[in-house]
Amino acid sequence: MFSKLFKATLITFCIFVFVFANALNAKEHPSLILTKEGVEKIRDNLGKVPLFDATVEKIKAEVDKEIALGIDTPIPKDFSGGYTHYRHKQNFVIAQQAGALYQILQDEKYAIYVRDMLLQYEAMYKDLPVHPQVRSYAPGKLFWQCLNDSNWLVFMSQAYDTIYDFLSSEEREKLENNLFRPFADYISLANPAFYNRIHNHSTWGNAAVGMIGLVMDDQALIQRALYGIQDDGLAVGGVDDDGGTIKSENQKRGFLANLEEPFSPDGYYTEGPYYQRYAMYPFLIFATAMQNKLPEYGVLQHKDNVLLKGIDALLNLTDADGDFFPLNDGQKGMSYFTPSLVTAVNIGYYYGNQNPELLSIAEKQNEVLLDQTGLAVAIGVQANMAEPYTKHSVNLSDGANGDEGGVAVLRSGQEDLTAVFKYAAQGLSHGHYDKLSFSLYRKGTEVLQDYGLVRFVNVGQKGGGNYLKENASWAKSTIAHNTLSQNQEMHFGGDYKTGSQHHSDLHFYADHDEKVQVASALETNAYPGTRMHRTIAFINANDFSEPFMLDIMKVSAKKAHDYDLPFYYFGQVIQTNFDYIKPSSLSPLGDKNGYQHLYLEATGKPSADTTQFSWLHEGKFYTLSTLTAPSDEILMTRIGANDPDFNLRSEPGVMLRRNNTQDTVFVTIVEPHGSYSPVTELSLNSNSAIKSLELLHDDKAYTAVRIEDVKGKTQLFVVSNLDAEKTREHTLTIGSKNYRWEGPYAYITAP
Amino acid sequence: MFSKLFKATLITFCIFVFVFANALNAKEHPSLILTKEGVEKIRDNLGKVPLFDATVEKIKAEVDKEIALGIDTPIPKDFSGGYTHYRHKQNFVIAQQAGALYQILQDEKYAIYVRDMLLQYEAMYKDLPVHPQVRSYAPGKLFWQCLNDSNWLVFMSQAYDTIYDFLSSEEREKLENNLFRPFADYISLANPAFYNRIHNHSTWGNAAVGMIGLVMDDQALIQRALYGIQDDGLAVGGVDDDGGTIKSENQKRGFLANLEEPFSPDGYYTEGPYYQRYAMYPFLIFATAMQNKLPEYGVLQHKDNVLLKGIDALLNLTDADGDFFPLNDGQKGMSYFTPSLVTAVNIGYYYGNQNPELLSIAEKQNEVLLDQTGLAVAIGVQANMAEPYTKHSVNLSDGANGDEGGVAVLRSGQEDLTAVFKYAAQGLSHGHYDKLSFSLYRKGTEVLQDYGLVRFVNVGQKGGGNYLKENASWAKSTIAHNTLSQNQEMHFGGDYKTGSQHHSDLHFYADHDEKVQVASALETNAYPGTRMHRTIAFINANDFSEPFMLDIMKVSAKKAHDYDLPFYYFGQVIQTNFDYIKPSSLSPLGDKNGYQHLYLEATGKPSADTTQFSWLHEGKFYTLSTLTAPSDEILMTRIGANDPDFNLRSEPGVMLRRNNTQDTVFVTIVEPHGSYSPVTELSLNSNSAIKSLELLHDDKAYTAVRIEDVKGKTQLFVVSNLDAEKTREHTLTIGSKNYRWEGPYAYITAP
């Protein structure tokens, strides 16, 4: 038996030889994604590599079913969610797969299917008007927006490449002149507002034009893909359907610009993981096609391999079930099981450094690409090379240069507790007004949620599957997030342009100590005149059965304001240490800025300095302990007011309200504990281990929190508010005690 | 290799020989549950039967951990959910297991542990006063209610039996005189109101007294167990904490009476599956002990093997995940993974007819009893004898003689769709006022729910883990169920005594045709002067992708009333074909009878004869189509009003309101269709296949409903309202057409 290391080296070497050998045959077909050599290797291995064979079988079954149904290219009519939308989408997916099957199985029926479908499109496209549903800033022809037309071309380019040699030159000419070139021109030259942006829309558009350009060996299209339309005639300004900027001052354009700007050097994509997952496909597929056909451009390696880094960043932005954190506009439930992540994992493995941890994701996906990358992954899996993809804490910068804030993900244990702390930039048009917000997970379960978006993607009955108006009025609002609202206003007044000029800043990030992990960040622009400094720490204390989260939000303001700090939990209220009153009728908490969507379910007053609120969710108890002043209020809320079409989810929150206050510190512990099973009916460890919190010290330089547990043991956590140098020595006297430590925070047991 | 049949026969024969051989040695120990021969056989097989060995390992680990912690028998103080409650409960569980381990592993440390624990109890019990938390109608000593004390004795009797021979006669005398006999007397003679009822409480009490009687060979206790206290001095009347009757006119008493009365001949237990699961343990364990020690009484075979039938009935009252339907007071999530169902499955297999389908449940439970029954199951599993436990439609009668209504469970496919139709008797003190209600499941997912109980069992923070006041004000109420409310009143005026005098009646049940399955039942007493006739049919129509449920509720009243028919769904509203208005504030729908707990979220008016309401839940679309008159209202509701302690779950409902009407028919179709995945973002078949419903005919004798689908095809369903004879020939003329059929219903396609 070969050793694992030897096998890995061998695979790496073979791939290396393969990648370079391939680049020599740029004009043969297929050569875009699937290559001639790739096909040969695949055919040599057919029936020998279980994961690959299973994928072939699965896709063959799907494609055969579609072939049996017959080709349908209906006259475009519907929004997403409707039949014509679904059918054209299904067509390009199936055509791409059928093309791959033709190459792999060498059964002409697949080539005939693709050819006939393309010819039907050719016949229709010539005279096709703009899509009748004119709601987009850039309507497509097959679909209601150019974006979906671009999806079509990205996939159909691959299909065309695989059957290129099967077609007669007359057929090719017909398709290229009447379908592909006009199609590429329509989504680019005819729609510069769509094509020339820095936006995932343009990435799809650029990739589409570039892919078909590569297949047709059309240099003009390739250049247009890489560098955009040189003179687009667009004025600076203008917004799309979601309020996103179309053209800003000195805006770059084209695929490479789209690769440079939204990706940080760490591979974080400024729109957030939901859109990164979506954009990843055109990014990777066109970069791979360029690698295969024009490697000298170095597109796949551009910006210090940022695309390959992006794959890792994206996988790190998932919970234990593989679901992406729904930062900004993100539909919950989207996960690394989506086809674009199969693409990402396969390409990342093959063109990256054959990280064996990627193989374990591929095992879970239980599917590979039908090309040489998928074969390599399947061979790696078969060779038992897979190692668990272990997610650690990670800090990802935002901004093209990595200097526009970021996202910190703290993880404890095997994702037993995960906090996602967002101190990023606005995130383009899909950004939310949620500076310094966080969400909390236990394995794959949301504990304190980020609401995500208000949209039922592709569910036609819900506004054509598009963004619903509550996305702007609720989901983007500040109060919809686990962060501070001031005077019931949104960060940046909810103004996109202002928000886009600013970002939060990292104070420090420290994950070297499994016992205490800390992320600390500042926001000074969201509310002019108010400085917010939030520090989130995971503390794995000796006397606690499980780690807890400490959250310190220090507010320094030029004048007094009203503050609200909400926490959106799930489950059933179990206990509070304060009294509350439930009104007989539920009314909205406010009339704008998201408050209009919250019902006020109860109002409480603290009965102690440490206010506690416990709940039960999916068999786990949680307690939120927070430092309160006697004049504070605790509001219990529920989402769903002023929601005429039932677009919102009815979910609860608990909010700390502190009115008419200038400088203040919010100190909160969120603590998972114990368990409940409806089968054993055992309620274990159902009480909080926290007895009290105390703000032992707070000034410009230091904030110190003392935590006493129910056994009477104490812990002290100190954060240095001004100086975040790793090696700085600090001394602080509190009462009669002197504390001395190095670095931006101190954690002291039995202080 | 032996054939499966041969193996099954061999196993059956061995068990047969074994059961009878065992009965000859009634006075040796252990002989109660674990027998001497059983121990020998187990020891012969140790290390050879994986499932049994795994259980031994698992339980050994648990017991060893407890032994390491040391014995603690604290002075009783807490309610359920508190420490002393938990500790004493844990003690009896562990002692019973330690006793079994002593026999199986013959390691004296287990016997010493049990002995020392029992002696500590002996030392404490002598002078122990009644439990300080006096809230029960029958307070215990170790626990706040005699019920839990009885649990203790049922388990400790087994522990005692296993170490009987290990103890000196002095130790035995001490334990019997100072602990066991006084303990048995306290829960029986000192608490006849607890002991002499027809109720699961008394079953536990009877079994406890009987078990210890058998170990001590005390005939007086055994007789007291079987036949109750002859002269209990109790007056007729009196109620327990839950409002349940303590003594009724001519009430029988004792274990056998408790076996006769609440069980129907089909094995349905009138309180419902949640309590049947609870009562099953003492029923089976004492019946097994009697079988082992005094088989001549035939307790296990009593009432035509009703206990063994009860096991099958109970397993049939679960959804596809094994969760019990929460009929009456039932805590959701309780399932056949609970230890008492391991007992039931093991005993049912061993003492029943070795049904190989039970083995597949045992495989899922992944645990067996540490006795000869568990060994037999584990051997069966090892021999690959297990066959899938396939649940079919089933109709279970209620009432001691099977003539007090019942519960019909309609199932389609592999539990793809399951309707639980309740036309039963009141169900003793845990019964709900929900005549002719139903709930609907898709596999293990609730589609239209039965709310269950309002209680957080053993969660001390929630009212000591006991029933909460919203259990009576909401959970038991009529409007909390998917059935008809008249004039916003509860069935029987919510009066337990009245409700207990009546039951619904089966009209007919037919499950012979997988295409059309029907259950039809009548209720004439819930609202005096009003006759409700509900027919629930599963129709597997040719042109539909999935089966749907047709629900016909025919109401015949002596005068006009206001009717409400609610459906409690889960998930997100997707579409309605009617307009509705959402008020700016949410107010309760009423002020009593459960209505005070419903917020009115929206009010709609029908815009067509067929009103449609669609929702999305866990990736599946559902549409409710219902026949409406222009004056009907559609109310959208949410549970949670007037709930000062957040004891209720915030969950939605949609309600059809038809005011000031005398005779009427409610016709509704509930139709699962299509799917939605947040990963593929594909919305498939998201629209209802129903175009319209029509009440084509309705009179005293026949009700006929015409269903037209979106393709224009029609179906006709006719129910015979008066004559339910299977072989009766019917003719009916509707318009110009004559229909002729045999039996109580007709299903005609393309009528």
d(CA B703, CA B709): 20
Q: How far is CA A398 from the centre of its chain?
A: 13
CA atoms of A512 and A726, how far apart (whole Å): 12
- Is residue B54 a part of any domain in this protein? no
pLDDT in tens, A225-270: 999 999 888 888 888 877 778 888 888 999 999 999 999 999 999 9
Question: B291 and B335 in contact (C-beta within 8 Å)?
Answer: no
C-beta separation of B147 from B242 below 8 A: no
Query: Nearest-CA residue of chain A relative to B650?
Result: A650
The answer to whether B575 contacts A458, with C-beta atoms less than 8 Å apart, is no
Contact B499, B432 (CB under 8 A): no
Residue B656 distance to chain A (closest CA, Å):
18
Partners of residue A683 in chain B, C-beta under 8 Å: 81, 456, 458-460, 465
Which one of A340, A461, A579 makes the best mutation probe of the B interface by having the most chain B beta carbons within 10 Å?
A461
The answer to whether A430 is a known catalytic residue is yes
- Residue A79 belongs to domain with CATH number: 1.50.10.100
Percent of chain A with pLDDT over 90: 89
Question: Which of A185, A201, A219 finishes a domain?
Answer: A219
The yes-or-no answer on residue B125 being catalytic is no
Closest by CA position to B616, among listed B665, B668, B677, B663: B677
From chain B, pick out residues whose CB is under 8 angstroms from the CB of A585: 585-588
Q: Provide the shortest C-alpha distance from residue A39 to chain B (in Å).
A: 27
Q: For chain B, which ranges sit under pLDDT 70? A: 1-26
Q: Are B207 and B184 in contact (CB under 8 A)?
A: no
Residue A130 is assigned to a structural domain of this protein: yes
| DSSP of A601-634 | EEEEE-SSSEEEEEEEETTEEEEEEEE--TT-EE
Chain B hits for A582, CB-CB cut-off 8 Å, are 643-644
Q: Are residues B384 and B404 in the same domain?
A: no
For residue range B663-717, list pLDDT tens digits in order: 999 999 999 999 999 999 999 999 999 999 999 999 999 999 999 999 999 999 9
Sequence-distant (≥ 6) Cβ neighbours of residue A266 within 8 angstroms: A309, A313, A396, A397, A402, A406
Amino acid found at A537? A
Residues of B in contact with A640 (CB under 8 A): 601
Between chains, do B331 and A678 touch, taking CB under 8 Å as contact? Answer: yes
Q: For residue A126, how many other CB atoms are within 10 A of its CB?
A: 11
Domain hosting A313: range is 1-53+262-391
Pairing state between β A579-581 and A598-605: antiparallel
Domain membership of residue A473 (yes or no) is yes
Give the C-alpha separation, A636 to A580, whole Å.
9
B308-319, pLDDT tens digit by residue?
Answer: 999 999 999 999
Q: What is the per-residue pLDDT across A393-445, written as a single tens digit (0 to 9) for each? A: 999 999 999 999 999 999 999 999 999 999 999 998 899 999 999 999 999 99
Query: Does some domain include residue A412?
Result: yes
* CA–CA separation, A525 and A528 (whole Å): 5
Same domain, residue pair A386 and A494: no
Catalytic, out of B88, B131, B201, B430 = B430
Query: Which member of A456, A465, A585 has the closest CB to residue B585?
Result: A585
- pTM (two decimals): 0.93
User: Residues with Cβ < 8 Å from B616, sequence gap 6 or more?
Assistant: A456, A459, B571, B572, B574, B622, B676
User: Taking CB atoms and an 8 Å limit, are A572 and B649 in contact across chains?
Assistant: yes
In a domain, residue A327? The reply is yes
- Please, where are the H alpha helices in A569-700? none
Give burial (CB, 10 Å; 0-12/13-18/19+) of A660. exposed
The Cα–Cα gap between B593 and B202 comes to 31
Q: Where are the beta strands (DSSP E) in A514-645?
A: 516-523, 530-539, 548-557, 561-567, 572-576, 579-581, 598-605, 610-617, 620-627, 633-639
Closest CB to B459 among A602, A650, A676: A676
Is A678 within 8 Å of B81 when comparing Cβ atoms? no
Query: Does A574 contact B459 at a Cβ distance shorter than 8 Å?
Result: yes
- What pLDDT shows up at residue A183? 98
Q: How close is the nearest chain B Cα to the Cα of A2, in Å?
A: 34
Residues A137 and A285 in one domain: no
CA dihedral B509, B511, B512, B514 (to 10 degrees): 150
Structural domain ending residue among the three candidates A331, A359, A391:
A391
How many helices (H) does chain B have, and how many strands (E)?
A: 19, 29
- 3-state DSSP percent of chain A in helix, strand and coil, to 5: 35, 25, 40
Question: What's the helix, strand, coil split of chain B in %, to 5?
Answer: 35, 25, 40
Task: Answer yes or no: do A113 and A94 share one domain.
Answer: yes
- The domain boundary, picked from A391, A406, A440, lies at A391
pLDDT score of A22: 47
Strand duo A664-673 + A394-397: pairing:
unpaired
Say if CB A631 and CB A659 are below 8 A apart.
Answer: yes
pLDDT at A246: 87
Integer Cα distance of A46 and A42 in angstroms: 6
- Measured between beta carbons, the chain B residues lying within 8 angstroms of A679 are 333-335, 337-338
Is residue A99 within 8 A of residue A105, CB to CB? The reply is: no
Whether residue A234 lies inside any domain: the answer is no
- Residue A277: name the closest of B619, B675, B680 by CA: B680
Q: How confident is the model at residue A4, as a pLDDT?
A: 60
Q: A465 to chain B: nearest residue by CA?
A: B683
A95 and A33 in a common domain: no
B35 and B105 share a domain?
no
Q: What is the pLDDT of residue B5?
A: 54
Could you tell me if A75 and A33 lie in one domain? no
A122 shares a domain with A2: no
How many other C-beta atoms can be found within 10 angstroms of the C-beta atom of residue B403?
15
**Residue A237 is assigned to a structural domain of this protein:** no
* pLDDT score, position B23: 47
Asked if A278 and A383 sit in the same domain, the reply is yes
Cβ separation of B459 and A614 shorter than 8 Å?
no
Domains identified in chain B, total number: 3
**In angstroms, what separates the C-alpha of B742 from chain A's closest C-alpha?**
41
Check CB contact under 8 Å for A585 and B582.
no
Q: Of B572, B585, B640, which is closest to A587 when you measure between CB atoms?
A: B585
**Under a CB-based contact definition with an 8 Å cutoff, are residues A210 and A289 in contact?**
yes
* pLDDT tens per residue, range A14-71: 555 445 444 444 579 999 999 999 999 999 999 999 999 999 999 999 999 999 999 9
Contact B574 A644 (CB under 8 A): no
* SS3 at position A423: strand
- Angle subtended by helix axes A200-216 and A219-227, to nearest 10: 160
Cross-strand partners of B440: B419, B448
Q: Extract long-range pairs of A9-12: CB within 8 Å, 24+ residues apart.
A: A11/A354, A11/A376, A11/A379, A11/A380, A11/A383, A11/A385, A12/A353, A12/A354
Residues in chain A: 751
Q: Is B57 within a domain?
A: no
Locate A319 and state its tokens: 């919970």
Q: What is the pLDDT of residue A23?
A: 47
Chain B environment of A687 (Cβ under 8 Å): 461
Q: Do A459 and B332 touch (CB under 8 A)?
A: no
Instruction: Tell me, yes or no, whether A697 and A711 share the same domain.
Output: yes
pLDDT band at A604 (very low <50, low <70, confident <90, very high): very high
* Nearest 10 degrees: Cα torsion B242, B244, B247, B248: 160
- Judge: A678–B614 Cβ closer than 8 Å, yes or no: no
- From the list B203, B79, B209, the residue with the least C-alpha distance to B131 is B79
Q: What is the maximum alpha-carbon separation in chain B?
A: 91
Nearest to A337 among B461, B462, B679 (CB): B679
- Of B458, B574, B649, nearest to A462 by CB-CB distance is B574
Cβ distance B465 to A683 less than 8 Å, yes or no, reads: yes
| CATH code of residue A622 | 2.70.98.70
Cβ of B335 within 8 Å of Cβ of A679? The answer is yes
Chain B residues within 8 A of A681 when measuring between CB atoms: 331, 334, 457-458
User: Using an 8 Å Cβ cutoff, are B422 and B491 in contact?
Assistant: no
Phi first, then psi: what are they for B510, rounded to 5°?
A: -145, 115
User: β-strands A561-567, A548-557: how paired?
Assistant: unpaired
B458 and B83 Cβ atoms separated by less than 8 Å: no
Single-letter residue type at A504: S
CB–CB of A586 and B584 under 8 A? no
Annotated catalytic residue, options A430, A432, A533, A597: A430
- The Cα–Cα gap between B419 and B427 comes to 19
List the beta bridge partners of residue B539: B516, B548
Cα nearest neighbour of B465 on chain A: A683
CA distance A375 to A347: 11
pLDDT at B397: 98
pLDDT band at A7 (very low <50, low <70, confident <90, very high): low
**What was the pLDDT predicted at B4?**
58
Question: Which chain A residues touch B335 with a CB distance below 8 Å?
Answer: 678-679
Question: Which residue of chain A has the CA closest to B644?
Answer: A582
Tokens representing A191 are: 């729609």
Instruction: Please indicate, yes or no, whether residues A205 and A346 belong to a single structural domain of this protein.
Output: no
Closest CA–CA distance from residue A514 to any residue of chain B (Å): 28
Q: How many CB pairs under 8 A join A and B?
A: 129
A215 pLDDT higher than 80: yes
Work out whether the CA dihedral B296, B297, B303, B305 comes out positive or negative: negative
Scanning B317-368, the segments in alpha helix (DSSP H) are 339-351, 356-365
- Helix A372-382 vs helix A356-365: crossing angle, to nearest 10: 100
Give the residue among B688, B690, B718 at the shortest CA–CA distance from B703: B718
HSE-CB at A731 with a 13 A cutoff on CA atoms is 4
Least Cα distance to B176 among B213, B226, B150, B139 occurs for B213
Are both A377 and A428 inside the same structural domain?
no
Sort strands A579-581 and A620-627 into parallel, antiparallel or unpaired: unpaired
